[in-house]
Amino acid sequence: MASRPRILVTRTLPEAIEARMRELFDFTDDLTAAEVLVPTIVDTVDEALIDRAGPRLKLIANYGNGVDHIDLKAARARGIIVTNTPGVLTEDAADMAMALILAVPRRLSEGERLVRSGNWGGWGPTTMLGHRVNGKALGILGMGRIGQAIAMRARGFGLSIHYHNRRRLPDVVERAVGAVWHPELDDMLTEIDILSINCPHNASTHHLIDAGRLELLGRQGYLINIARGEIVDEPALIDALANRTIAGAGLDVFEHEPAVDPRLLALDNVVMLPHMASATIEARHATGEKVIANIRMWADGHRPPDQVLEGWA
C-alpha cells in the first residue's frame, strides 16, 4: 500500500479534520480511483456503488457509528474492510436523550412556542401542566455505551431503569446503573413509562416498535428516539400520538429524513429535532480523528482498530 492512500470523502468535514487528512492522504473525486471511501451516515453505500468503485477500493472508513447505510455483505464479498467510529458520541447522545426525556413530559417545546407567540397570559395554577419525571420507569432498548450513559443520567433524576438487550449485561454493570433486564421486549413495555430507543438499525430491528408495541407502552407512555427512525413504524407512531394512545414522543430521527411527515408537524405532543444528538464540535472532531486513525492503521498494513466484524447486521 502506498504511504499516501487515495481517499474519496463524500461530505464536507470539519476544517481541522479535512486539513489533517490532506496532510496525510491524497484526495480524489473519482470513485474508480479511490482506495478508501469515507462516507457518512446519510450516504447510501449499496452493492451498485461498491461495484462502480472498482478493484482499487479496499477500505470504507465510515464517518459515524452506524453502518446500516452500508451493504456489509457486498463489501465483504469484495474483500473490502469496513470501519466505523464507536464511542466518540456517547456522552453527547446521552445528553440529548436525557434532554428529550425531560422535554416531552414537561411540555418544554409547547411552552417555548407559547412564549414566542405573544399569547402567554402569565402563570396560572392549571397552565401548561405536564408530568413529573421523578419516580417514573425508564425502559432502554439497546443497553450499549449510549444506553448505559443514559441510565446513569436518568438515575440522577429519580427514574428507575429497565432495559432490553439480546444478551444480558454482566451483573457488575447492572448494579452500576441500577438496571433490571427484561429478556422479552413486550414484557418491559408493560412496566415502563418512558421508552428510550438506543439500538442499531438492521433487519431485526426494522419497525421493531410497531402499532402493537406502542399499544403496550400505553396512554401514559412516552417514546424517545435518538437512534434511527426506521426502528419505529412511523405511521403507527403518528396514529398513536394523534389518538393519544401514547402520551407523547421526542424524536431526533425520522423514517424518511430529511423529509418529515406533515402529520407529525401538526401534533403538539411530539418534540422534534433535526438529527442533532451527536452535533457537538467535540464529537465531530473526535469522529474525524477516529476515521484518520483507521485509515492510517490500514495503510500501514495493520488491522484498523474499529473494523466492523461479522454479526454487526
Catalytic residue IDs: 228, 257, 275
Quick one: which of 168, 228, 239 has its CA closest to 200?
Answer: 228
Please check whether residue 81 is in contact with residue 306, taking contact to mean a CB–CB distance below 8 angstroms. Answer: no
Place of cell 451527536: 278
Instruction: Please tell me the distance from the alpha carbon of residue 300 to that of residue 23, in angstroms, as a whole number.
Output: 16
Q: Give me the residues paired with residue 164 across strands.
A: 141
Instruction: Please tell me the distance from the alpha carbon of residue 73 to that of residue 236, in angstroms, as a whole number.
Output: 30
How far lies 190's CA from each of 5, 273, 284, in Å?
Answer: 53, 27, 37
The H or E element spanning position 196 is strand 194-197
Angle, helix 90-103 to helix 108-117, in steps of 10 degrees? 70
Please check whether residue 63 is in contact with residue 287, taking contact to mean a CB–CB distance below 8 angstroms. Answer: yes
